[in-house]
Amino acid sequence: MDSHRTVKKLGLKATPKRIAILEILSEEFVYLCPEEIWRKLQTRFKRIGLPTVYRNLEELSQGGVIIKIIHPDRKLYYYYCHNTNHHHHFVCISCRKVQDLEFCGEEQIIKEVEDTLKGKVVSHLFQVYGFCRECSHGNAIFT
Ligand SMILES: [Zn+2]
Ligand SMILES: [Zn+2]
Ligand SMILES: [Zn+2]
């Protein structure tokens, strides 16, 4: 995985911090909160501030590679997704695993907005929360 190229593809300058954030997230199979990413970054950038991490995550998440997860615990998390096709996510609230969902109800939503509400859809956000196969079988790994 070429993080340098990925950052540039997002239309951002490939700064060492952005590349490092992308690398940290791409090595994880779970979602991380900004504080966790910040702690990992401190091994390389001793004086990096948390606001810098927040800002970079926000910028990186505009392009669809870094997925923002709005968790039911009301905290924001971030997740790296390699799948560049339009899709949605099934988020495990126990072990933090994220799985791609092929389902997208966009057509039905557009139909309802245009026919019933007489409006126009610009974009949509759709995320599903629950327990993955392992966690729903009673072997919950709380992290
Ligand atoms: Zn799980
Ligand atoms: Zn995905
Ligand atoms: Zn969709």
**Tell me, what's the pLDDT at 10?**
87
pLDDT higher than threshold 70 for residue 70: yes
**110 CA → ligand 3 middle, Å:** 11
* Residues whose beta carbons lie less than 5 angstroms from ion ligand 1: 92, 94-95, 97, 132, 135
**Tell me, what's the pLDDT at 1?**
59
Distances (CA, A) of 82 to 85, 111, 123, 129: 9, 30, 21, 20
pLDDT higher than threshold 80 for residue 142: no
**Tell me, what's the pLDDT at 78?**
97
d(CA 22, CA 40): 12
Task: Say which DSSP state 43 is in.
Answer: T
pLDDT higher than threshold 80 for residue 54: yes
* pLDDT tens readout for residues 23-44: 999 999 899 999 999 999 999 9
d(CA 116, CA 125): 20
Mean pLDDT of 104-110: 93
Q: What percent of the chain has pLDDT over 90?
A: 74
**35 CA → ligand 1 middle, Å:** 21
Q: What is the mean pLDDT of the chain?
A: 92
Identify the three-state secondary structure at position 48.
coil
* Residues whose beta carbons lie less than 5 angstroms from ion ligand 2: 81, 83, 100
**139 CA → ligand 3 middle, Å:** 31
**123 CA → ligand 3 middle, Å:** 8
